[in-house]
Amino acid sequence: MDKLCSVPKTITDGKTNVTICDAKRSQLIPVLRKIQEKEGYISNRKMQEVAFSLGIHPVEVYSVVTFYSFLTIEKKGKHIIRISNCITADMAGAKKIIKTFEKELGIKLGETTKDKKISLEETSCIGMCDQSPAALIDGKLVGKLTPQKVKNIVKELKK
Ligand code: FES
């Protein structure tokens, strides 16, 4: 076990003992974010490599990847639209905004356009209640969305 490991722990399946390091485990999300950033998604193979290098079970890696909406196991579009689905956004008309995005993009929430250019998703709190309905578009916050703003955004992203 390397020097970084201040909390080594041995686990066993009855036959084999494996020593894991909780200090290394804290690297899981930063490592996954780097892979997501570079490759656009996290493949099964990458999840296994990460699990092996951190000394944790691949199921743990999979559960983290599928828990966080910003990490994905499938390739998304070049542009990702994430609409806040918090209660304030809902009250401010997020459903109408979603419908407009769906109509302009020709896809449903959770889908990616056929040309793999744009993905449309929902996300939980993005800290923009006061600007609802709001979205993250390629990681940039856009607030006070209106159907006209949505049309302009889609037009720009399609270029
Ligand atoms: S609760 Fe509305 S954006 Fe956070």
Whole-number pLDDT of residue 6: 58
The rounded distance, in Å, linking the Cα atoms of 108 and 99 is: 8
Helical residues (DSSP H) of the chain, grouped into ranges: 22-25, 28-39, 44-54, 58-67, 87-91, 94-105, 147-158
Percentage of the chain beyond pLDDT 70 is 89
CA of 77 from ligand 1 middle (Å) equals 25
What is the rounded distance in angstroms from the CA atom of residue 131 to the CA atom of residue 144? 5
Q: Which CATH number fits domain 79-158: 3.40.718.10, 3.30.70.141, 3.30.70.1170, 3.40.30.10?
A: 3.40.30.10
Residue 69 has φ and ψ, to the nearest 5°, of -70, -15
Q: Does residue 92 have its Cβ closer than 6 Å to ligand 1?
A: no
Q: In angstroms, rounded to a whole number, what is the distance separating the alpha carbons of residues 88 and 103?
A: 23
Sequence spans of domains, the chain = 8-67, 79-158
For residue range 4-40, list pLDDT tens digits in order. Answer: 455 666 767 777 776 666 667 788 998 999 898 888 8
- Whether domain 8-67 has CATH 3.40.50.300: no
- Look at residue 136 in the predicted model and tell me its pLDDT: 95
Is residue 3 predicted with pLDDT exceeding 70? Answer: no
- Residue whose pair of structure tokens reads 């020593």 in the numeric block: 19
